Structure 1
Amino acid sequence: MSQSILEIRHLRTLAALRDTGSLVRAAQLLNLTQSALSHQIKLLEDRYGTPLFERKSVPPQFSGTGLRLLQLADAALPMVEEAERDVARLAAGGAGQLRIVVECHTCFDWLMPAMDAFRSRWPEIELDIVSGFHPDPIALLLQNRAEVAIVSEQDPAEAVDYHPLFQFEIVALLANDHALVSKTHLTARHFADQTLITYPVPDDMLDIVRQVLAPAGVQPAQRRTTELTVAMLQLVASGRGVATLPLWAVQGYLDRGYVTARRVGAKGLTGELHMACTAATSARPWLADFVQITRESCFVSLPGIALL
C-alpha cells in the first residue's frame, strides 16, 4: 500500500467541518482561509477518488469515506492532544493554579464549558473564579492574585500579554411594547430620555457608553444598576428602562419573546473579549490549551460570535 498522505491537520479540518456545520465557520475555527481549507479537502478527495461530503447540504452530509475519516479523527485527535499535554507536564513538572477574574463579574456562564473541558484535560491545575467586582482586573494579574483576566479591550500600556477570544454584537433590549420597538435601530439620541440599566461598573467598562453615548455627548435621563443579568432583563421587560447586552447572552430570552432587541447603530455595536495574563503565565504549558479550548467551545456554542 502506498504511503498515506493523511496528516493531523486533515483530521482536525474534518472534525471542525462536522462540529461547525459549514466551510466558512470551520475555516474561522481553525484560523485558516476558506481556500486553504478547501485545498486540504480537495487533496484528500483526489487521493481517495470520492467526495468526502455533499457540498450542497447544510450542515454537510458526509459520505462513507468522510465518515470513516471522521471516525479516525475522533480516535486519533484525543490521543495526540493527550500525548502533547503529557509531554508539556513532563517538561514543566508539578501542579499549578488558574485563577480567573472576569471583567463582567456576573456574566460568565459562557466560560463554564471551557473550564469543565480544561479541568478534564489538566486535572492537576486548580481552577477558580475570583469572585466580586474588580474595577482593575489587570492589577490582580500584576499583584499575583489571578493568573488570567477576561477583559473587553487591549491596553498597550499594560505589561501583560493579550490572547484574543471573540467578537460579538451588543444589542439594545426593550420591553415588547416600548415605543422604540418601532425603530429599525437605535442611535445615541434615542437613549437621551431613557433610563439606562447597566451593571454597577465604571462607564469606561461599558461599551454603550464608551463607544456610543460619550462620543455623541449624550447622557441618559436616568441610570439604574443591577448585578444580575436576569434582574436586568426583568426590569427591561416590566418597562423600567432599557439595557444593552451581548446578543449571545440574551438569545434565549429573545427566542421566548421575553423582551425585544434592536441594533445599536445602523451597522450594530460590537464588543470583544480577550484573555490577559502575564508573560510568565503565557509561558505555562497549559495556557495555550486553555485559550484554544475557550475559543473553540465558545465558537461552537455561542450564537453570532466571530473569533478574533
Structure 2
Amino acid sequence: MTRSPLELRHLRSIVAIAETGSVSQAARRVFLTQSALSHQLKALEDGYGVALFERRKAQPLRLTQAGERLLTLARQVLAQVDNAERDLARLREGEAGELRVAVECHTCFDWLMPAMDAFRSHWPAVELDIVSGFHADPVGLLLTGRADLAIVSEAEETPGVSHFPLFAYEMVALAARDHPLAAKKSWSAADFAAETLISYPVPDAMLDLMRKVLKPAGVSPERRTSELTIAIVQLVASRRGVAALPYWAVVPYLEKGYVVARRIGDGLNSELYAAVRDDDAGVAYLNDFVDTVRATSFATLPGLTALGAEL
C-alpha cells in the first residue's frame, strides 16, 4: 500500500488556513515561516495530485472540494489526538486540580466563557473559577497564590512567571454613523483631540489607545467611562463621544449599523497572554486550558492574529 503523505502537522496547517484565510496568518498559528508553510502545502498537493486551495489575488484563501475533505478529516483526527493526549495526562498527573483565573480586561469574558465551557468537558474534575472582579494587577494574584492563571495584555518579564501567547487583535475607533469623523478611513491621534473618549474605567496604562497613540502624540481628550461594552456603544451611537474597542467585540453592533468602525493609524494591535507561575508551567490541565482558549477564540472571533511561541 502506498504510504500516505499526510501528517499531523499538515492537518494543523489546513485547519489554521481554513480559520484565517491567509497563509501568513496560518504560518504564525503553527509557528512556521510563510515560505515553509507554502512548501508544506505544495508538497501535500503534489503528493495527492490535486489542488487543496483556490488561490486568488486580494481574496481570502478558499479550500477546494479536496481541501474541504481534508479539513473534515483534520478536525476529526485532531480532536481524537487531543482527547487521547488528555487521557495520557490524566493517567500521569491525575484528573483533579484547581484553576483560578484572574483577568485585567473587561472584554475578556466575551471569549473566556466559551473556552471555560469547553475546558470543563475536558477536565470535569478540575475546579475552575474566575477570581471575582476586575484586577489591575492579576500577576500579583499569581505571586501571592490567589490565582493560578492570569490573562494579561503585556508579557512583562517577572521572576517566577511564565507567559504563553494567546492571540492579537485590532482595536478600532468607533463613531456615530453621522459623526464627521465617520467619513475618514483611518484616524490619527489628532482626530481624538476635540472628542470625548469613552472607555472602561481603568488606568491609562492599560488602554492601548492612550499608551501607544494618544500620549506619545501629546493628545489628552476629555474622558467618560462605562463598565459595559454595550453601554459604550450606545453612548457613541448617541454622539456622546467616540471610543476604541476590539474589532471582534463590536462586530455585532457594526452589522446592525449602530456605529461605524475606523482604523486607528495604520492599525492599532493589542495582545493577550496567559501568565502562570513557573512551577505550574508544566501542569497538563493548565496547558490544556491555554490551548483551549486559543482554539475556541480563533474558531469563533473574527480578525484575530497569532502571536509567537512561549516567552
State the Cα deviation string for residues 254-275 of structure 1 (Å, max 9, x = none).
122101222222x122211111
Equivalent-residue separation in structure 1 for 2:248 and 2:22 (angstroms)? 20
- The 3 A distance-change label for structure 1 pair 134 and 22 is closer
- Runs of 4+ displaced beyond 6 Å: none
Trace 1:1-308 onto structure 2 (pairs within 5 A). 1-55=1-55, 58-63=61-66, 66=67, 69-70=70-71, 72-105=73-106, 107-157=108-158, 159-220=160-221, 222-265=222-265, 267-308=266-307
- Secondary structure, counterpart of 1:218 in structure 2: coil
Equivalent-residue separation in structure 2 for 1:273 and 1:279 (angstroms)? 18
- The 3 A distance-change label for structure 1 pair 4 and 218 is closer
- Paired letter, 1:277: V
- Paired letter, 1:237: A
- Percent sequence identity over matched residues? 58
- Secondary structure, counterpart of 1:286 in structure 2: helix
Q: Which moved more, 1:50-59 or 1:174-183?
A: 50-59
Contact 1:100 1:146 in 2 (8 A): yes
Superposition deviation, residue 95 in structure 1: 0.6
Superposition deviation, residue 109 in structure 1: 0.7
- Paired letter, 2:62: P
Equivalent-residue separation in structure 2 for 1:155 and 1:14 (angstroms)? 33
Q: Which moved more, 1:41-50 or 1:243-252?
A: 41-50
- Paired letter, 1:302: L
TM-score, length of structure 1 as denominator length:
0.88
- The 3 A distance-change label for structure 1 pair 223 and 160 is same
The root-mean-square deviation of aligned C-alpha atoms, in Å, is 2.4
Superposition deviation, residue 148 in structure 1: 1.2
- Secondary structure, counterpart of 1:120 in structure 2: helix
Gap runs ≥5 in structure 1 = none
Equivalent-residue separation in structure 1 for 2:75 and 2:108 (angstroms)? 32
State the Cα deviation string for residues 162-217 of structure 1 (Å, max 9, x = none).
11122222112112222322333322233233222111111111111111222222
- Paired letter, 2:44: L
State the Cα deviation string for residues 92-123 of structure 1 (Å, max 9, x = none).
12411222112113542122222222222222
Contact 2:166 2:272 in 1 (8 A): yes
The count of aligned residue pairs is: 304
TM-score, length of structure 2 as denominator length:
0.87
Gap runs ≥5 in structure 2 = none
Q: Which moved more, 1:29-38 or 1:109-118?
A: 29-38
- Secondary structure, counterpart of 2:215 in structure 1: helix
